[in-house]
Amino acid sequence: MIPPPDLTQRAAHLLTTLDSNPTSSNTYNTAFIAGLRDAAGTPWFPQALDWLRRHQHADGSWGGTLPVPVDRLVSTLAAVAALGQCGEPWAKSAVQAGVDYLWGHSEDWRTSPHQTSAFELAVPYLLDQGRRAGLNLPAERFTDIEQLRTAKLGRLPAVLPSDAPSPLLYSAELVSPQLLARQAERFQAEDGSIGCSPAATAALCRHGDNAAAESFLRRLAAQSPDGGFPELAPIEIFILGWALYPIVRAGLRPAGIEQHLATLRAILDADGLVTMSATFPLPDADDTAMAMTILHRAGTDVTPYLPHLLTFERDSYFTCYEFERDGSVAVNARIAEALGPEPQRYAPQIEKAAGYIADHRIDGAYWYDKWHTSPYYATAHVAFGLASTAPKLLEATARWLRETQHPNGSWGAAQGQPEETAYAVLALDALVQAGLTTDTSPLPRAFAYLCHHLDDNDTQYAEMWNGRGLFTAPHLTRSAIISALHLATAYL
């Protein structure tokens, strides 16, 4: 048996590195920034063009390592639209390969369980940009998405004219220049960014002089390990919460954790709601519930905070952001978990969240979520939130976990992923703790697999987090692995 590594020390080190490259570069944001040029046509960020050159797949597409159709579609549209302005020979051949891919795979996304964020806004916008660049794209195959775009924007009529913040800040590159300017006037952050989005920040530069936005992008470029640009920046509160949760769930108490817990307490004490970054003006249910759950597990009395979660309650589920087109399984599970300290007081709300989750169960055993492509992520969070309060929802989940484990001890896509394996271990442990299974036979093999991948570098993790394109959050993957290994040692 492989000896357990010093997991507490590794967790402590992880918590000191959260500010360093929290999310990976991806095609979508890199493409938007690659399109920025001066009056003479010289690219502002030639390294972004080179990143696109180096990251095209053999089939002509761009996107994450795993072939998720909607990610490949949006990423490829973004790349060819950006490279259509580039006159270099390599770019012309790359664009043609990308266009050929789009003609051959324009319908693949329709049978996929995944959609990227703002998909219904991005596809029409990028098709239009491609047409402006003179590209022959299969636009007629996407006419129904224009209807979704209209429906999306139709949810916001009372908000946008008043210049109140909306989730569209994150995708502000896809709205009209007039709306972008109006939102930027009030909500461009002190660091120059808008919406925690490099692509949206690039749009500020594209539509006029904005020295603060340009400075922000140049700082990101200087920090980039590979010449590309990330899906989200800054995103410090989200990263902190999702890194801490597995650690406290596993019972680890690494050095330095108290200062991070104090940060979450201070945010909640301020107004009871949490955003993904101090620069983002819109609180959300996911970050808010996560902060409360972490603090509860760490010993803080969170009952004074819990009423704030009702801000996100709707008729049949809890929303993550106002004006969303669809809900989130993981968010509703997290709400149920956060309300757990007062199960009687919030019984109707927990039941409501459980009902939404029940309606989205697949084959009676597992779930997908809008913010992450892995069913093991969504299923783990359902197990965390409902194993004790709605156990019948999870009666078949342990069997599904046993049946989907690979011979090498892993779970997940492409013969197994460390991140998905960690979530599967965390889910199975939650089911064991709730008395829903006594079969822990998968865990020793999973432990061995995760030990072999504990020191993988950032580029070895597949992109599974769902933004406008897929991305990796390496610190969160490592936190899940460390925590899963710690829990698995009890079953060796």
| Average pLDDT, rounded, for the chain | 95
Both 332 and 278 in a single domain?
Answer: yes
Average pLDDT over residues 455-464: 94
Domain for residue 8, yes or no? no
For residue 2, being part of any structural domain is answered with no
63: nearest Cα among 376, 456, 467: 467
Residue 408 sits in the same domain as residue 266:
yes
Same domain membership, residue 173 and residue 203: yes
Residue 155 has a pLDDT of 65
CA distance 476 to 469: 18
- Tens of pLDDT along 46-67? 999 999 999 999 999 999 999 9
Would you say residue 160 has pLDDT above 70? Answer: no
Say whether both 130 and 164 belong to one domain. yes
Do 379 and 293 reside in the same domain of the chain? yes
Could you tell me if residue 10 is inside a domain? no
Over 60: is that where the pLDDT of 158 sits? no
Q: From CA 185, how far away is CA 163, in angstroms rounded?
A: 9
pLDDT tens digits for range 276-288? 999 999 999 999 9
pLDDT at 164: 73
DSSP category for residue 346: T
Rounded CA-CA distance 182/296 in Å is: 40
Residues 281 and 207 in one domain: no
In a domain, 60, yes or no: yes
Residue 92 counted as domain residue: yes
pLDDT of 151 reads 74
pLDDT of the residue at 147 = 80
Q: Which of 139-153, 156-170, 213-227 has the lowest mean pLDDT?
A: 156-170
Domains in the chain: how many in total? Answer: 2
At which of 176, 191, 223 does a domain end? 223
pLDDT(156) > 80:
no
Whether residues 170 and 251 fall in one domain: no
126 and 245 part of one domain: no
Question: What domain range is 179 assigned to?
Answer: 27-223
Domain boundary among 191, 223, 255: 223
Phi, psi of 43 (to 5 degrees): -60, 140
184 part of a folded domain: yes
Q: Which residues, in sequence order, are CB contacts of 202 under 8 Å at separation 6+?
A: 29, 32, 33, 35, 36, 173, 213, 217
Alpha-helix runs per DSSP H in 7-113? 7-15, 27-34, 46-54, 69-83, 89-105
In a domain, 54, yes or no: yes
278 and 215 share a domain? no
| CATH classification at residue 286 | 1.50.10.20
**pLDDT tens-digit series, residues 323-364:** 777 899 999 999 999 999 999 999 999 999 999 999 999 999
**In the listed set 193, 223, 253, which residue is the last one of a domain according to the structure?**
223
Q: Is the pLDDT of residue 427 over 80?
A: yes
What is the distance between the alpha carbons of residues 374 and 320, in angstroms, rounded to a whole number?
19
In this structure, is residue 196 part of a structural domain? yes
- Check whether residue 212 and residue 248 sit in a common domain: no
- 418 and 444, same domain (yes or no): yes
CATH number of the domain that residue 35 is part of: 1.50.10.160
Residue 163's pLDDT is 64
User: What does the pLDDT read at residue 323?
Assistant: 72
| Cα radius of gyration rounded to whole Å, the chain | 22
Do 208 and 345 lie in a common domain?
no
